[in-house]
C-alpha cells in the first residue's frame, strides 16, 4: 500500500512539474534573415523562416542552434525565466540579429499564453466596435474618418514651441499605433505626431519606442527637433538607441542642428555615412518583393545623399532591372558623384537597361 501511494505521488509530482515548466518561445529576425532552429539535434522548422515559434518547452535554460541561408550554424542560449524564477504558460520573445558572421539575440518581452476560445467561432457574431472611434474628434489631436486619422496642426502661430502637447495625445497615439498593421503605418502615425505638435524629450522618447529601425528613429528626431521645448535634455534621446554608430550620428546632428532636412536642399554635396546607408539597405532588404521595396524607397530616399557606390549597393537589393532602373533615376538627383553615376549600370542584367540609363543621364546634361 505504501509503495502504491509512493508511486502515485511520484507520478503526480512529475506531471505537475512538466505542466509547470511548459512555455513558448518566438524568435523573430530584425533584418529579414531567415533561419532554421535545432534543439538537441532535432530541427524544429524544415524551411527557412523569418519568425519561428517554439512551443511546449519544458526547460528554463534552452540550448539551440540557428542555421541561416548561407549555411552558417551558430549556437545560442535562451533563458526562460521570469524575474529569475521558473514560470509556466508564458511566451518569451527574442529578436534575432545576424550580419552573415555573428549572431546576437535580444530579449524583448514575456507574455501570458492566452488559449484559443472554444469554440473558435462564437455562436453569435462579435459586435464590431470600430465605428465607435470612427468619425470622432480626439480633442484637438486628430479626427478619425473611416478609420484614418486626419491630424490637426497644433503648433503655435508664432512657430516657437514653449509648452509640450497634453499627455492625452500620447494615449491617442497608442490607440492609433495599435491599429497599424506594419512598421510603415506605425511610422506614419508617429511622424505626424512629431510634425504637428510641440513635444518634450520624454514624449519623443516614448514615441520612438514604437519604431524598430534606428535610421527611422534618427529621421523622426530630425523632424521633431525644432518642436522640442526642452532641448537641454536632448542627450536623454541616446537611450533610444542600441548601436554606438547611431548615437554618433545623433550627436553629429545635435552639433549641427541646422541640417534638419537634407531633402529640402537643392543639391547634395556630402554623402551620408556608411552607417546610415547600411541601416537603410537593411530596411529595404526586409521587404519581400521589388514593388514593396520600391514603394519604401520612394518614401525615404530623399532624406539622404549618396555616393555612386552607395547607389549601387542599394540597387543590388532589387531583383529586376525594371525597378533597378526606376530607383536609379530617383537616386541620381541626390547623388554627390553625378559625373560617375553611369558606373551603377554594372548592377543591371541587360544591355537594354544600361542604354536606357545612359539616355536618361544624357538628358540631364542638356
Q: What is the pLDDT of residue 173?
A: 93
Helix (H, G, I), strand (E, B) or coil at 86: coil
Mean pLDDT score across all residues of the chain: 83
pLDDT: which is higher, 231 or 157: 231
Q: What is the pLDDT of residue 121?
A: 61
Question: What is d(CA 42, CA 34) in angstroms, rounded to the nearest whole number?
Answer: 18
* Averaged pLDDT for residues 148-176: 86
Q: What is the pLDDT of residue 21?
A: 57
Structural domain spans, the chain: 19-112, 130-260, 274-364
Predicted confidence band of residue 259 (pLDDT cuts 50, 70, 90):
very low
Q: What is the pLDDT of residue 263?
A: 35
Predicted confidence band of residue 122 (pLDDT cuts 50, 70, 90):
low
The string of pLDDT tens digits covering residues 300-351 is 787 888 999 999 999 999 999 989 998 998 898 889 998 999 999 999 999 9
The string of pLDDT tens digits covering residues 25-52 is 999 888 778 999 999 889 999 888 888 9
Check whether 258 has a pLDDT greater than 90. Answer: no
Question: What is d(CA 159, CA 206) in angstroms, rounded to the nearest whole number?
Answer: 23
Going by the DSSP 8-state scheme, the letter that residue 117 receives in this structure is P
Q: What is the pLDDT of residue 19?
A: 46
CATH fold of the domain at 19-112 = Immunoglobulin-like (2.60.40)
Q: What is the pLDDT of residue 150?
A: 78
The upper half-sphere exposure of residue 129, i.e. CA atoms within 13 Å in the direction of its Cβ, equals 2
- CB atoms under 10 Å from CB of 265, counted, come to 12
Q: Lowest mean pLDDT of 39-43, 154-158, 278-282, name the range.
A: 154-158
Predicted confidence band of residue 14 (pLDDT cuts 50, 70, 90):
very low
Question: What is d(CA 31, CA 317) in angstroms, rounded to the nearest whole number?
Answer: 13
Amino acid at each position: 500500500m505504501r509503495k502504491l501511494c509512493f508511486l502515485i505521488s511520484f507520478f503526480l509530482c512529475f506531471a505537475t512539474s512538466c505542466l509547470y515548466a511548459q512555455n513558448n518561445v518566438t524568435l523573430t529576425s530584425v533584418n529579414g534573415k531567415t533561419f532554421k532552429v535545432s534543439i538537441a539535434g532535432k530541427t524544429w522548422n524544415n524551411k527557412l523562416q523569418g519568425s519561428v515559434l517554439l512551443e511546449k518547452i519544458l526547460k528554463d535554460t534552452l540550448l539551440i542552434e540557428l542555421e541561416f541561408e548561407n549555411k552558417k550554424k551558430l549556437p545560442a542560449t535562451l533563458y526562460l525565466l521570469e524575474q529569475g524564477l521558473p514560470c509556466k504558460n508564458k511566451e518569451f520573445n527574442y529578436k534575432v540579429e545576424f550580419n552573415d558572421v555573428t549572431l546576437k539575440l535580444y530579449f524583448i518581452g514575456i507574455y501570458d499564453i492566452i488559449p484559443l476560445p472554444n469554440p473558435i467561432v462564437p455562436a453569435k457574431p462579435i459586435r464590431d466596435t470600430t465605428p465607435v472611434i470612427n468619425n470622432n474628434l480626439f480633442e484637438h489631436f486628430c479626427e478619425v474618418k473611416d478609420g484614418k486619422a486626419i491630424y490637426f496642426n497644433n503648433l503655435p502661430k508664432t512657430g516657437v514651441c514653449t509648452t509640450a502637447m497634453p499627455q492625452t495625445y500620447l494615449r491617442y497615439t497608442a490607440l492609433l499605433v495599435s491599429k497599424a498593421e506594419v512598421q510603415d503605418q506605425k511610422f506614419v502615425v508617429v511622424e505626424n505626431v512629431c510634425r504637428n505638435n510641440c513635444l518634450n524629450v520624454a514624449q519623443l522618447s516614448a514615441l520612438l519606442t514604437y519604431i524598430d529601425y534606428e535610421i527611422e528613429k534618427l529621421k523622426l528626431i530630425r523632424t521633431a527637433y525644432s518642436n522640442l521645448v526642452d532641448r537641454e535634455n536632448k542627450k536623454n534621446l541616446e537611450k533610444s538607441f542600441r548601436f554606438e554608430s547611431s548615437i554618433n550620428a545623433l550627436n553629429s546632428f545635435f552639433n549641427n542642428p541646422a541640417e534638419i532636412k537634407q531633402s529640402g536642399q537643392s543639391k547634395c554635396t556630402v554623402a551620408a555615412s556608411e552607417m546610415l546607408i547600411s541601416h537603410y539597405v537593411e530596411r529595404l532588404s526586409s521587404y519581400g518583393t521589388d514593388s514593396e521595396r520600391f514603394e519604401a524607397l520612394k518614401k525615404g530616399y530623399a532624406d539622404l545623399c549618396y555616393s555612386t557606390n552607395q547607389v549601387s549597393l542599394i540597387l543590388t537589393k532589387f531583383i529586376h532591372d525594371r525597378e533597378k532602373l526606376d530607383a536609379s533615376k530617383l537616386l541620381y538627383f541626390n547623388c554627390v558623384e553625378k559625373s560617375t553615376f553611369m558606373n551603377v549600370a554594372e548592377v543591371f542584367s541587360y544591355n537594354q537597361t544600361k542604354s536606357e540609363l545612359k539616355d536618361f543621364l544624357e538628358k540631364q546634361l542638356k
